[in-house]
Amino acid sequence: MPGYDYLYLGDNARAPYGTHSFEVVYEFTLQAVRRLFREGCPLVILACNTASAKALRTIQQKDLPGLAPDNRVLGVIRPTAECIGNITQSRHVGIFATPGTIRSCTYDMEIAKLYPDIRVTGIACPMWVPLVENNEANGPGADYFISRKIDDMFAADPLIDTVILGCTHYPILLDKINRYVPSGVTVVAQGDYVARSLQDYLLRHTDMEMRISHGGTLRLLTTEQPSQFDESASIFLDWSVHAERVSLL
């Protein structure tokens, strides 16, 4: 969707969110949403599974009506859950995610609403984000932590035929994950599904489509030193970026 204007805000100084409590993740996420609203964003995507799991519903129901009732805040878990029913054949699905996302059981609940016949097995992977953040995704040490969690997953339920990568960092590990999952298992990375869901949302909500600017620009904000953000972002994007530092307090 290159024709839109994007403002990305990374709370890198306080990341990762996956190990924080519900209350702290909600507080941090609300601060970020407020900042994006002040910057003029009418539509905010919580592009973090932990924030989507721990903060989205509260912000939508409690804060948005008083903060900016015409704006919208969406997450990444629901779009992922919606696609699963058309992918799994065995109706046994696995979730790799941060400890916070797994403890929230948000994937379990969202999938159960849509597909009550699907059995969900969640495995927390606390070491996977640090592997990516420290540029060790392709190192030999990553194989141990990845294969170990995959073994745990299929020991818990050998009938799983579809695995969701429930963290935005995990697709960086996709080559190694595919190496260790059993043959025939589909690994679902969220990016394409979330983007398609957003396209569909804007088609159905023409009022929001008209409010969003269409300049094809990208602006990046971070709560960390920009030099550190720029280096990490290159791991994901494969091109140089230059972020601005902001405070959310």
Q: Flag whether 24 is in a domain.
A: yes
Active site residues: 48, 167
User: Could you tell me if 183 and 87 lie in one domain?
Assistant: yes
- Residue 29 confidence (pLDDT) above 80: yes
3-state secondary structure the chain: CCCCCEEEEECCCCCCHHHCCHHHHHHHHHHHHHHHHHCCCCEEECCCHHHHHHCHHHHHHHHHHHHCCCCEEECCHHHHHHHHCCCCCCCEEEEEECHHHHHHCHHHHHHHHHCCCCEEEEEECCCHHHHHHCCCCCCHHHHHHHHHHHHHHHHHCCCCCEEEEECCCHHHHHHHHHHHCCCCCEEECCHHHHHHHHHHHHHHCHHHHHHCCCCCCEEEEECCCHHHHHHHHHHHHCCCCCCEECCCC
Where does the pLDDT of residue 34 fall: very low under 50, low under 70, confident under 90, or very high at 90 and above?
A: very high
Q: Flag whether 108 is in a domain.
A: yes
Name which of 221, 22, 12, 3 is nearest 132 in CA terms: 12
pLDDT at 112: 97
Q: Flag whether 210 is in a domain.
A: yes
pLDDT tens across 53-81, in order? 999 999 999 999 999 999 999 999 999 99
User: Could you tell me if 149 and 218 lie in one domain?
Assistant: no
d(CA 161, CA 87): 9
User: Could you tell me if 92 and 183 lie in one domain?
Assistant: yes
For residue 130, what are the domain limits? Answer: 77-189
User: Could you tell me if 129 and 94 lie in one domain?
Assistant: yes
pLDDT at 135: 85
pLDDT at 176: 96
pLDDT at 158: 98
Average pLDDT over residues 184-189: 96
User: Could you tell me if 213 and 163 lie in one domain?
Assistant: no
Q: Flag whether 144 is in a domain.
A: yes
User: Could you tell me if 127 and 164 lie in one domain?
Assistant: yes
Count of domains observed in the chain: 2
pLDDT at 79: 94
Q: Flag whether 1 is in a domain.
A: no
Q: Flag whether 157 is in a domain.
A: yes
pLDDT at 15: 87
Name which of 180, 172, 175, 124 is nearest 147 in CA terms: 180
User: Could you tell me if 221 and 165 lie in one domain?
Assistant: no
Q: Of 167, 189, 211, which residue is a domain's last? A: 189
User: Could you tell me if 59 and 103 lie in one domain?
Assistant: no
Residues 120 and 108: beta-carbon distance below 8 Å: yes
User: Could you tell me if 178 and 102 lie in one domain?
Assistant: yes
Q: Identify the CATH number of the domain in which residue 229 sits.
A: 3.40.50.1860
User: Could you tell me if 101 and 166 lie in one domain?
Assistant: yes
Q: Of 168, 189, 210, which residue is a domain's last? A: 189
Q: Flag whether 159 is in a domain.
A: yes
Q: What are phi and psi of 32, to 5 degrees?
A: -70, -40
- The pTM of the full predicted model, rounded to 2 decimals, is 0.90
User: Could you tell me if 184 and 95 lie in one domain?
Assistant: yes
User: Could you tell me if 83 and 107 lie in one domain?
Assistant: yes
- Residue 231 confidence (pLDDT) above 90: no
Q: Flag whether 198 is in a domain.
A: yes
Average pLDDT over residues 112-133: 95
